[in-house]
Each structure stands twice: as C-alpha cells, then as structure tokens.
Amino acid sequence: MIELKNVSKTFTLHNQNSAVIEVLGNVNLTVAPGECVALTGSSGAGKSTLMRMIYGNYLSQSGVISIDGTDLVQAAPRDIIRLRREVLGYVSQFLRVVPRVPTLDVVAQPLRSLGVPAETAENRARDLLSRLNILPSLWSLSPTTFSGGEQQRVNIARGFAHNYPALLLDEPTASLDPTNREVVLTLIEEAKARKSAIIGIFHDEAARSRVCDREIDVSRFTPALAV
C-alpha cells in the first residue's frame, strides 16, 4: 500500500547563502495493508519530515513514494489531492482549521468532500466526538478556542472520520489522558483490522509496542547522522 524507494530530501536555504542541507537519503520502506509501522529515532532524525514527504507536504528530491499506485514525487497536485481525499489520511500534531467553523463540521468535512450526504457525515462525526469524550455542548463551537488536548482529540476524530486505506499518525496519543489514549489506540486497532496501512510516530513506548508491528529507525536514512 505504501512503498518508498531510494527517496531523498534536501533543503536549500536561499536566504542563508543557499546552504544545502541533506536531510534524508536512500529511504526504502514498505507498509502492507493492515500493518502498522512506527518511525523511531532521536529528535531531529527526520521522522516528521519523512512523514510529511509521504503526505506530499514536503517535496522529495528523488526516488519514488508510491501510495496505492500513485507516485507522490511526480504526481500533479490534483492527483495528490484526490489521493488525500480518498486514500491517504494524516493526523498531524496541530489542528489547522478555518476560524468559526463548528467542530461538528470540521470532523464531518473529510466525508463531505467525498460527497457523503451531510446527515451521514454528521452522524459519523457525532459518534467519533462522543467516543473521544468531547462534550456535545462544544460541538457547535469552533475548536480554535479549545484546550490543547481537546484540539488534539478533534484532530484525531477528523483523521478517523473516513476509513482511509493508508494513514499517517504524528504523535496521536501525545497530551491525552489515559481514557482518551485508550480510545485512540482502539481506533488504531480498528483501522488495522480494516486493513489500513499505518505509519506512526509514537513517543509513548507502551502505545507503540501495543499497536505497531515493526519499527524503523529513521536515523539510518539521515546522511548527517550516518557520517
């Protein structure tokens, strides 16, 4: 489902004498449907960068990032957007939304953009928000005013609204209390059972060992650290 071949990433900082920083090189990895792979490595090793490359958010300089048969390195924007809409989900560490949009609409949005009727999409959103213990009284409010933990749970609800065949999770259990952490891990297990291919970053070791089938240390793709 997710396959990376000889992928590399450099940053060219034009405003700092065009310094070229080689961040990742020769990345090769494969994730099969129903498999959950953890990215590990010390801070700065490039876990989040790699995650963003797989999402198409960062441009890869070479190689192939194939998701469901589409090569993200070469794909046109509309193909990446279609892939993100239908196939590839991403739960980032930060919630980014249009101000003033109610929480319920934020969570229902991925389904709405797939053409799911409003009522069906909102029912799914209500179900997820309830499971993640967001009080119904908050659903009609914009999440921009919520606490960090609440925002993170809204973010997770949105990320799991559609059953993506491929899912990227960046610290999904960070800043969550034990109850909600349990809910999120259950959601991940359900996604695996539905044969989603998952790549995650977990600092929470217990969580990692519970849901992940294997670990990949990103440091070995990091030229600066490998030298």
- Position 17 contacts other proteins (CB under 8 A): no
Of 73, 80, 141, 174, the one binding other proteins by CB under 8 A: 80
8 A C-beta contact, residue 178 and residue 16: no
Of the pair 14, 179, the CB lying nearest other proteins is at: 14
Binding status of residue 15 toward other proteins by CB under 8 A: yes
113 in contact with other proteins (CB under 8 A): yes
Nearer to other proteins, 113 or 175 (CB): 113
The span from the CA of 118 to the CA of 111, in Å, is: 8
Interface stretch with other proteins, choices 94-102, 145-153, 155-163, 207-215 (CB under 8 A): 94-102
Please give the C-alpha separations between residue 183 and each of 15, 90, 102, 128, 196, in angstroms, as whole numbers: 45, 18, 23, 10, 17
C-beta of residue 42 within 8 angstroms of C-beta of residue 224: no
Of 3, 58, 133, 138, the one binding other proteins by CB under 8 A: 58
Q: Residues 8-38, buried b or exposed e (16+ Cβ, 10 A)?
A: bbeeeeeeeeeeeeebbbebebebeeebbbb
What sign has the CA pseudo-torsion 81, 87, 73, 56?
Answer: positive
Interacting span for other proteins (CB under 8 A) from 11-19, 132-140, 163-171, 197-205: 11-19
Element (H, E) at 214: strand 214-217
43 vs 78, beta carbon nearer other proteins: 78
Nearer to other proteins, 69 or 77 (CB): 77
Which helix (DSSP H) or strand (DSSP E) does residue 85 occupy? helix 77-86
Is residue 81 within the footprint of other proteins (CB under 8 A)?
A: yes
Please name which of 173, 172, 201 lies closest in space to residue 38, comparing C-alpha atoms.
201
Told to check if 146 binds other proteins by CB under 8 A, we report no
Q: Which is nearer to other proteins, 49 or 222 (CB)?
A: 49
Q: How many residues bind other proteins (CB under 8 A)?
A: 21
- Return residues touching other proteins (CB under 8 A): 11-15, 18, 52, 56-59, 77-78, 80-81, 98-101, 112-113
